[in-house]
Amino acid sequence: DLGNLDFVFEDLSLRDISGNILNALSHEFSILIGGSADLSSSCKTSLKDYPDFDFNNYAGRNIYFGIREHAMGAILNGMALSGLRSFGSTFLVFSDYMRPAIRMSAIMNLPVIYIFTHDSITVGEDGITHQPVEQLASLELIPNLYVYHPYDVNELLSSYKDILSANHPSVLVLPRDNKEISELTKSNKINDG
């Protein structure tokens, strides 16, 4: 239930809020497991109340994939095939490295959750190699892949509700910076267009 979140939305970026939502959901969904391609602190995808998954601890729910976006996508697909609700994160610009795995999620209709952050071309401290330009549009072209690009926390909550209630692969694209809450958005409805 996303209506019982016990954190404040003000002065947080959507990636921070998304991380809080993931942590709240981890207590409700015992099959939620995932990680990032070496960017969990930037993408805010660490499940704080759970240990890391490794060869000494199969009960862990945080996976460190390393800088291996394509391998991460393929592993997420395998986890989804085994009945887990898998998620993986990296910067939006690096989604190109995992495009074949994302396409396989869409072809196989696997409910993988891809969380891509830093969607703005204003992300400049690492240079043009970290500035996404065409990635969002190219992801939207993949058939059977649902792409969510929420404007504010209301649309983020609505996106998560839709993602968790459906059985399809989803991409959640989040900015690095903070966004004000709009009076025009609602947490119980998103635009399917």
- List the catalytic residues: 69
Q: Please state, in angstroms and rounded to a whole number, the distance separating the CA atoms of residues 66 and 112.
A: 19
Q: Is 21 buried (19+), middle (13-18) or exposed (0-12) by CB count in 10 A?
A: buried
Q: Please state, in angstroms and rounded to a whole number, the distance separating the CA atoms of residues 123 and 130.
A: 7
Sign of CA dihedral 163, 76, 117, 102: negative
